[in-house]
Amino acid sequence: MNDDDAISSADSRPAAHSEASVSHVLSAESTPSTTEPHQSDLTVVSTAPPMAIESPAAKLSPRELGVALEGQQLDHVLLEQFVGGGGMGAVFRAWDTTLHRTVAVKVLSLRQSADVDSLRRFHTEARSAARLDHPNIARAHFVGEDRGVRYIVFEFIEGTNIRDLVHANGPLPLGDALSYTIQIAGALTHAWEREVVHRDIKPSNILITPDGQAKLVDMGLARIEYIGQTAQDETATGVTLGTFDYISPEQARNPRDADIRSDIYSLGCTLFFMLTGRPPFIEGTAVQKLLAHQSDAVPDVREFRPDVPDILATVLARMLAKRPEDRFDTPLDLTAALAGCLDGIGMAPPPAILPAFAPWKTWAPRRTWWRRHMPWLVPAALLLAAVTGLAIKWHFDAATPPAFPDELQIPASSSSGTAADGPGEDNSSRENGRAASG
């Protein structure tokens, strides 16, 4: 079954049957946990209160849902261990009983399953992930629905997210922070080429593997550009927001205005966090943070991290510009600037990403026609201009007749000499004639 078939089959199930099945599978609620993600790191997906659902299972928090589903099997996937939860649902390490491999499974929260906008976001996440195939993006394998529980199967990534790394060990070394940012910029370039905007770049959505590879996960707020501008876009009602500490000003005002430059802003906030251990704006409530992103000057990263070189501070300041047009136009431009930072401070990417995952070595973004042919177009144009200039000059030279005087001019000395010689020649001829006759 492909993704579209899985989505179609999920949409065709009766809601009443789904709720009844879930109530049967999830027979008891777990006690609330104090280990939920910090509120500042939660992705806000709706400003409206959750829908009232009669099913007891639908009232479970993501963590309670994770505990309840641990050990259950959805179709051919066995949910072995609950590993985390968020605004959209619970995430598990699971075992694919068909292909015999470890996978990650994201299960949609049951209260979200009854909400049309949440289902659309869930399906958009699956389609967005399916469009992307890059070493720094978690790959989607399968979308399904079993007994009213909707889920997505992803590749399983053995690693730790950047938020937890920084909280455990403090701000990252310069080389690591640059390496991870360059890798995610490469992932964003790949998404940009395929018209996908992530819209929720933050430290907890970037996993770092033991060998230093950065992986971008969670496409829950992603938007496909050519779909996102229609009336069916989940952001049309203005409910999808993002994460307050990392959201761009334009996305906070209107999520439909978010484009790849919004992802660059959020990646800049994430780089700021990697270097300092805190996001750019930490004071106040969620609303005050949103206002700070809109109007407050971004703190200079060197105030918190004096060893940050000037060239990197300049790049970071441009990533965090308030106006999208003042940022890097594309992640490709950002990658070049970050690579320049490495060269400028005499550093090289960690060996773990060379050559396998260095963006400038493993893949080349599609270039426009004129960029592909620039090496030969310029000399050809110069040669054509030179030949054309010579041809025009030759044409005018050939078309212009030589300049002659209107009357033949004979020098005076030549005329008098000719006249004097004439009579002498006649007398000599007559004398010769007489001698011959005599």
Residue 14 has a pLDDT of 36
Residue range of the domain that includes 226: 160-366
pLDDT over 90 at 312, yes or no:
yes
Catalytic residue ranges: 200
Residue 5 has a pLDDT of 41
The model's pLDDT over 15-47, given as tens digits with 9 standing for 90+, comes to 333 333 333 333 333 333 333 455 556 555 444
- Of the candidates 214, 18, 192, the residue with the CA atom closest to the CA atom of residue 111: 18
Higher pLDDT among residues 378 and 409, named by residue: 378
Do residues 354 and 294 both lie within one domain? yes
Q: 199 in a domain, yes or no?
A: yes
Q: Report the Cα–Cα distance between both ends of the chain, in Å, rounded.
A: 137
Task: Please state, in angstroms and rounded to a whole number, the distance separating the CA atoms of residues 44 and 255.
Answer: 12
Q: 135 in a domain, yes or no?
A: yes
Higher pLDDT among residues 1 and 336, named by residue: 336
CATH number, position 246: 1.10.510.10
Please answer whether residues 72 and 99 qualify as being in contact, where contact means their C-beta atoms are separated by less than 8 angstroms.
Answer: no
Beta-bridged to residue 427, according to DSSP, are: none
Q: How many structural domains compose the chain?
A: 2
**Cβ neighbours of 404 (radius 10 Å):** 7
Structure tokens at 187: 């992932």
User: End of a domain among 338, 366, 394?
Assistant: 366
State which amino acid sits at residue 183: Q
Length of the chain in residues, anyone?
438
Structure tokens at 362: 């493993």
State which amino acid sits at residue 308: V
- Of the candidates 275, 405, 285, 294, the residue with the CA atom closest to the CA atom of residue 341: 275
Residue 210 has a pLDDT of 94
Do residues 218 and 270 both lie within one domain? yes
Residue 66 has a pLDDT of 86
Task: Please state, in angstroms and rounded to a whole number, the distance separating the CA atoms of residues 342 and 94.
Answer: 39
Q: 180 in a domain, yes or no?
A: yes
Do residues 309 and 208 both lie within one domain? yes
The model's pLDDT over 401-428, given as tens digits with 9 standing for 90+, comes to 666 555 656 666 554 555 445 555 555 5
Do residues 147 and 180 both lie within one domain? no
Please identify which residue in the block is written with the tokens 């400003």: 47
Cα dihedral across residues 183, 243, 254, 282: positive or negative = negative
Cβ burial, residue 336 (10 Å; 0-12/13-18/19+): middle
User: End of a domain among 155, 174, 199?
Assistant: 155
The whole-number average pLDDT for the span 232-240 is 38
Do residues 214 and 358 both lie within one domain? yes
User: End of a domain among 346, 366, 386?
Assistant: 366
Task: Please state, in angstroms and rounded to a whole number, the distance separating the CA atoms of residues 22 and 72.
Answer: 12
Please answer whether residues 95 and 70 qualify as being in contact, where contact means their C-beta atoms are separated by less than 8 angstroms.
Answer: no
The model's pLDDT over 115-124, given as tens digits with 9 standing for 90+, comes to 666 667 777 7
Residue 63 has a pLDDT of 81
Do residues 146 and 270 both lie within one domain? no
Structure tokens at 338: 């970050």
Task: Please state, in angstroms and rounded to a whole number, the distance separating the CA atoms of residues 58 and 60.
Answer: 6
Residue 116 has a pLDDT of 67
Task: Please state, in angstroms and rounded to a whole number, the distance separating the CA atoms of residues 9 and 146.
Answer: 10
Please answer whether residues 257 and 228 qualify as being in contact, where contact means their C-beta atoms are separated by less than 8 angstroms.
Answer: no
Q: 182 in a domain, yes or no?
A: yes
Structure tokens at 412: 């005076």
Least confident residue range of 76-80, 82-86, 160-164, 384-388: 82-86
The whole-number average pLDDT for the span 216-236 is 51
Residue 114 has a pLDDT of 56
Rounded to 5°, the CA angle 197-203-204 comes to 95
